[in-house]
């Protein structure tokens, strides 16, 4: 019919183009400086990745085994807690250098950016290794049914209790969340373990619940091991295009600095030798193409001024401190980059950062923050400060108004505007922490008995978007390099900070990588 089109669902004319000649194969790369690495000695893992092929980073992954060599049980923090610093280079040229990497992944990226659907559908993303979480697992030892159900309870705050106990008929959209919880958990006719009920209730409320102290956390007992399979957070190793290793004389070197024992999680007693890392490898998906294709790439290099260009986004870390009793503070962010995409920051209890009885990576506090604003040169971002009311009562909404903080964070991630944000963060668990360390201290005592308690997630990352065109593949962020503009972060507290606070700031910046005709690799950020 003229002027009308059929839906694509009934279009059967789409044919698949024939691919160029090529061969894919898997190859494992191993470390260059030993087989076992300690958390206190020999703590830098070095791996060279070089091949006469193209590297598909999206289909490749790292793996390693973390061994608990202490005399105490260990409850791991979220993300990749064992990586304190990540550095990537080629022939001695530093391409990426992310410090406080474990704080970035555990405190910002894990709760705010990781996909809920992928966590549910793929066990490798939960208790079997991609991201570790102390809330992922309800072990068989406590009668739980495995990672998937526990993950649903944890990451689906709105209706987790009903999903876990298998009763969606009881959901009444006009009923508030507290009533839903009560109704779901009171149904004695449902054959569901108490551990599951506790997990669901805790996830919904956003804090630990009295009487729910026997839920198992992610724990490595003394003398036991845990195998991780993971992708690193990197502009190069998260590339949407194949990395042309075939054109790089020296390939890429990955250096991983291991974190000290106190950072990786909570220990049930004396740390002793802490942990070590073994069996480190990179499982690479390599693609061999026809020589004629590589010749065409060389022609592209020549026509582009002798370079092959790749783009990505990388993080830079800066740390500062706010003294206890301060009502406001100005934080220096000395980033000199051509295009700031976003800036994230976390507030943490300084004492927790060196404590083996508290999580120090994933939990973050708000310390009664009432507003924040960035300033680049003479320009304020945003023009009016981001404001909110965080009442400091753990797990209680009260009269708080955290919507502006939450929305700006979602903007910084490019997640604002959807009916559902694909994130672990929700209105129910965001900023549900008053800055105290009590949440995690209780876990330490229970670890010594071998039955760790569930500790409620409290996420409070903050963020600000700096791009003119945030959803476009353009370099449109704020330039602080050309004119050496100073960047600061102004923090205002509704009440004085109850303890010394560490401010971790992560600047996400556009990065351009150049593969040169001589086989060298360089970067511009």
Write the secondary structure of 394-443 as one string of H (helix), E (strand) and C (coil): CCCCCCCECHHHHHHHHHHCCCCCCCCCCCCCCCCCECCCCCCCHHHHHH
Q: What is the pLDDT of residue 277?
A: 96
Residue 139 lies in a domain: no
Under a CB-based contact definition with an 8 Å cutoff, are residues 454 and 369 in contact? no
Quick one: pLDDT at residue 329? 95
pTM over 0.85: no
Q: Residue 236 in contact with residue 243, Cβ under 8 Å?
A: yes
In a domain, 519, yes or no: yes
- Asked if the structure places residue 192 within a domain, the reply is no
Do the Cβ atoms of 53 and 244 come closer than 8 Å?
A: no
At 272, which helix (H) or strand (E)?
none
What is the total count of domains within the chain?
A: 1
Domain boundaries, position 88: 42-134+217-524
Give the pLDDT confidence score for residue 284 in this predicted structure.
98
| 10-residue stretch averages of pLDDT, the chain, 525 residues long | 78 81 95 92 96 96 94 85 97 97 90 45 30 31 30 34 39 45 44 39 40 49 89 92 96 97 89 94 96 89 89 95 92 96 93 83 85 96 92 55 86 68 60 55 55 56 91 84 94 87 95 95 96
Q: What per-residue confidence (pLDDT) applies to 211?
A: 40
Distance CA 386, CA 414 (A): 17
**pLDDT the model gives residue 313:** 93
Residue recorded with tokens 């997640």: 415
- Tokens matching residue 237: 């190793």
The pLDDT, as a whole number, for residue 448 is 61
* 417 inside domain: yes
Contact 331, 367 (CB under 8 A): no
Q: Which two tokens stand for residue 162?
A: 């009903």
Q: Which residue has the tokens 């694909």?
A: 422
Contact in structure between 102 and 80 (CB atoms under 8 Å): yes
Q: What pLDDT is stored for residue 146 in this prediction? A: 31
Report d(CA 153, CA 163) in Å as an integer.
7
Contact present, 311 and 513 (Cβ < 8 Å): yes
Would 315 be classed as within a structural domain? yes
Residue 52 falls inside a structural domain: yes
Q: What pLDDT shows up at residue 476?
A: 86
Helix or strand (DSSP H, E) at 487: strand 487-493
Answer whether residue 341 is part of any domain.
Answer: yes
pLDDT score, position 79 = 83
Q: Please identify which residue in the block is written with the tokens 């986004």.
A: 313
Residue 35 domain-assigned (yes or no): no
Rounded Cα gap, residues 112 and 411, in angstroms: 11
DSSP 107: I
The dihedral formed by the CA atoms of 490, 492, 493 and 498, expressed in degrees to the nearest 10? 30
- Residue 269 makes CB contacts below 8 A (sequence gap 6+) with 71, 72, 73, 447, 448
């Amino acid at each position: 019919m003229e002027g009308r089109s059929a839906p694509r669902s009934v279009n059967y004319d789409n044919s698949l183009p024939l691919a160029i000649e090529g061969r894919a194969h898997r190859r494992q790369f191993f470390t260059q400086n030993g087989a076992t690495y300690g958390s206190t000695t020999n703590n830098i893992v070095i791996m060279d990745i070089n091949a006469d092929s193209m590297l598909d980073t999206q289909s490749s992954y790292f793996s390693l085994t973390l061994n608990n060599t202490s005399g105490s049980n260990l409850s791991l923090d979220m993300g990749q807690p064992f990586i304190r610093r990540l550095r990537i280079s080629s022939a001695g040229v530093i391409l990426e250098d992310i410090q406080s990497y474990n704080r970035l992944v555990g405190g910002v990226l894990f709760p705010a950016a990781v996909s809920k659907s992928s966590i549910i559908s793929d066990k490798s993303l939960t208790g079997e290794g991609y991201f570790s979480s102390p809330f992922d697992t309800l072990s068989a030892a406590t009668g739980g049914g495995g990672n998937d159900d526990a993950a649903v309870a944890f990451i689906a705050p709105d209706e987790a209790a009903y999903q876990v106990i298998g009763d969606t008929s009881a959901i009444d959209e006009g009923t508030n969340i507290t009533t839903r919880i009560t109704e779901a958990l009171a149904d004695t006719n449902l054959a569901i373990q108490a551990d599951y009920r506790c997990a669901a209730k805790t996830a919904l409320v956003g804090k630990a619940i009295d009487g729910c102290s026997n839920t198992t956390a992610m724990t490595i007992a003394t003398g036991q091991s845990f195998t991780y399979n993971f992708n690193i957070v990197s502009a190069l190793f998260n590339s949407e295009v194949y990395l042309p290793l075939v054109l790089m004389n020296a390939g890429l070197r990955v250096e991983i600095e291991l974190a000290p024992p106190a950072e990786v999680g909570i220990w049930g007693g004396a740390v002793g030798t802490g942990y070590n890392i073994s069996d480190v490898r990179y499982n690479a998906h390599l693609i061999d193409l026809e020589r004629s294709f590589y010749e065409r790439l060389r022609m592209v290099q020549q026509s582009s001024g002798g370079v092959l260009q790749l783009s990505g986004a990388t993080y830079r870390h800066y740390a500062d401190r706010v003294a206890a009793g301060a009502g406001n503070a100005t934080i220096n962010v000395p980033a000199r980059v051509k295009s700031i995409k976003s800036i994230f920051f976390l507030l943490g209890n300084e004492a927790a950062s060196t404590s083996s009885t508290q999580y120090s990576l994933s939990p973050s506090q708000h310390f009664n923050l009432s507003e924040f604003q960035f300033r680049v040169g003479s320009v304020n971002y945003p023009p009016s400060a981001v404001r909110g009311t965080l009442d400091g009562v753990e797990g209680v909404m009260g009269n708080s108004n955290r919507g502006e903080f939450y929305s700006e964070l979602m903007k910084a991630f490019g997640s604002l505007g959807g009916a559902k944000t694909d994130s672990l963060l929700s209105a129910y668990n965001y900023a549900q922490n008053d800055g105290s360390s009590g949440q995690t201290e209780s876990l330490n005592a229970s670890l010594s008995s071998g039955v760790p308690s569930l500790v409620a997630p409290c996420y409070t990352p903050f963020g600000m978007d700096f791009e003119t065109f945030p959803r476009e593949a353009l370099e449109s962020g704020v330039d602080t390099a050309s004119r050496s503009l100073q960047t600061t972060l102004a923090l205002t507290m509704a009440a004085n900070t109850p303890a010394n606070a560490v401010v971790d700031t992560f600047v996400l910046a556009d990065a351009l990588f150049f593969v040169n005709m001589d086989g060298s690799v360089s970067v511009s950020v």
